[in-house]
Amino acid sequence: MGYSFLRKKPLPKGEARGGLKRVLSVIDLTAIGIAAIIGAGIFSTIGEAAAKAGSSIVIVFVIGAIVAGLSALSYAEMASSVPLSGSAYTYAYVVFGELVAWIVGWMLILEYAVGNIAVAISWSSYFQSLLQSWGISFPLYLGRDPLSLWRDAQAFLTTGDPSLRAAYEAWQAAPRLLGIPLVANLPALGITTLVTLIAYVGIKESRLANNTMVILKIGAILLVITVGAFFVQPARWHDFMPRGFSGMMQGVGAVFFAYIGFDALSTTAEEARNPKRDLPLGILLSLGFCTLLYIAVALVLTGLASYKELAVPDPLAYVLTQLPVSNSLRNFLSAVVSLSAVIAIASVLLVFQLGQPRIWYAMSRDGLLPPFLGRVHRRFQTPHVATLLTGMVVGVPLFFSSMQTVVDMSSMGTLTAFAVVSAGVAYLHYSPPEGYAPTFRVPNIPGRWLFLLLVGLGFFVAWQMEPEGLKALWNLSEGGEIWRYRVLLAMVTVAGYFTVRYNLSLLPVLGCLSALYLIVELGVNNWIRLGLWTGLGIGLYFAYGYWQSLLRKDNS
């Protein structure tokens, strides 16, 4: 009994026969992956990356796709062998046992529910910008959360910063009830309510809404690419790597997060018609398609404007203003970009709002969460209680959430799941359990000598690029940002020990290391928040989940 938290979920002997409706084809699953990947990243992050990397952003996107692809391969293998709802939570349960699975499930709350807070806030900003482009003014006190608006208003009184005057005036203009200003981000609350209702009503309705939004946003992006291609100046690509190799690599971090989301389709495993075949295909097809689309957008962007001009919040809309076309066509294209951004982000919100309830559904079915979260609606055949709870978890914090903190915490949870799934595949290649027969396999490349070769090559490149920085790595008196590279060195050393000793499969090991390195890049404050979140999760597990799961197993 004392070690039951290490007990693993047995590999399923067939497909789950729960109450969810199997309606999703490989096309639907690919559309879900595309919907989750193509969001705000292609409309904003791409500009920041292009400003750092110049025309070499094309290479940056390829590198980002490889890094994301390493985790995607592991997800594809696990999805083909464990066709159950729950995504990384379920995969961790099969490989590492109950406690690790709980921690991963707890981290996935950061990716889906907490991440959707950021998505809803982002959608609200784009929606308000779209209204402004149509000449419709939207009161700021109805488009911001009260906490951030109050902070900006107080900052204006303290500093007199003119950029904060609008916030101060909005705070003063807000209607009051018993002296309390009535401030709320109504667009964010509205879109959250709408997608929650769609997810509640059924997977068929969610599929239709998602596929429609995916078609619209891809069509809009292809229109911009096609029109922009006629005005591209190839001479702008000649200065291919304006800030050198290090400048190019600085764009990788920003670009990688534009690929996050492909794992969301694995949460719908029990609603897929043929999960063992279609889930791996959906994961890899969506990632490959989005990579090609990102590269095409990057080429057009850097061919239409100087990389120095692209560090703006809306780079696609900006480059369209540089086109030598009529004002009517320019305004039409700008409206298309704004509308496609609103559609793109709404589709991300819908997919993540589908994903979180299904993770809670799986955890409830395993006895780790209360039984009511595992209830399936008799008519709609959706985990309706978990869906409504997800809507509340996303909607309520919109009143006091910090955008940047929410984004970083969502990234931490996502990357933790990536690292665990990749490590799980590496372990399964080393010691596969009885009955492990995935229909898709990550190429099993023995990593003993190749890993050492790659580490040696990495040190050689670092020595050629920044020899002084490499020397500082060994100088313990050096502080500052050098600690990040020391943490990376420690992780590589640990991974190298296990890889060399057990000759682990190379690709999943690299996928695990890539995810862990990007977590390190998110900074100490986020590590502290992640530690506190993890501690809270473990406390809840031993206060409730451990005992309920134990009771369930004893009665079975």
Residue boundaries of the structural domains of the chain: 4-137+187-430, 146-183
pLDDT of 477 > 70? The answer is no
Mean pLDDT over 69-94 rounds to: 87
Higher pLDDT, 173 or 323: 173
4-137+187-430, what's its fold? Amino acid/polyamine transporter I (1.20.1740)
Backbone angles phi, psi at 113, to 5 degrees: -70, -55
Mean pLDDT over 125-132 rounds to: 82
Model confidence pLDDT, tens digit, residues 181-197: 888 888 989 999 999 99
pLDDT of 18 > 70? The answer is no
Judge contact between 230 and 303, C-beta under 8 A: no
pLDDT at 424: 92
pLDDT at 239: 78
Model confidence pLDDT, tens digit, residues 53-65: 888 888 888 888 8
Higher pLDDT, 462 or 140: 140
User: Distance (Å, rounded) from C-alpha 510 to C-alpha 495?
Assistant: 9
pLDDT at 472: 61
pLDDT at 503: 93
Higher pLDDT, 544 or 485: 544
pLDDT at 51: 79
Helix (H) or strand (E) holding 176: strand 176-177
Helix intervals (H) in 366-465: 384-395, 403-430, 448-465
**Residue % of the chain over a pLDDT of 90:** 17
pLDDT of 510 > 90? The answer is yes
Lowest mean pLDDT among 189-198, 307-316, 475-484, 525-534: 475-484
pLDDT at 231: 87
* Strand duo 180-181 + 176-177: pairing: antiparallel
Chain Cα centroid distance, residue 374: 25
Residues 6+ apart with CB under 8 A from 513: 491, 492, 495
User: Distance (Å, rounded) from C-alpha 221 to C-alpha 339?
Assistant: 11
pLDDT at 512: 93
pLDDT of 442 > 50? The answer is yes
Q: DSSP 3-state assignment of 24?
A: strand
pLDDT at 494: 93
Q: How confident is the model at residue 1 (pLDDT cuts 50, 70, 90)?
A: very low
**Residue % of the chain over a pLDDT of 70:** 88
Nearest in space to 32 (alpha carbons), one of 364, 289, 361 = 289
pLDDT of 450 > 90? The answer is yes
Model confidence pLDDT, tens digit, residues 241-265: 877 766 676 677 667 767 878 888 8
* Mean pLDDT over the full length of the chain: 83
Model confidence pLDDT, tens digit, residues 285-314: 999 999 999 899 888 888 888 888 877 767
Global pTM value: 0.85
Judge contact between 54 and 243, C-beta under 8 A: yes
pLDDT of 16 > 60? The answer is no
How many residues make up the chain in this entry?
Answer: 556
Residues 6+ apart with CB under 8 A from 415: 515, 516, 518, 519
Matching residue, tokens 């209607």? 175
Chain Cα centroid distance, residue 74: 16
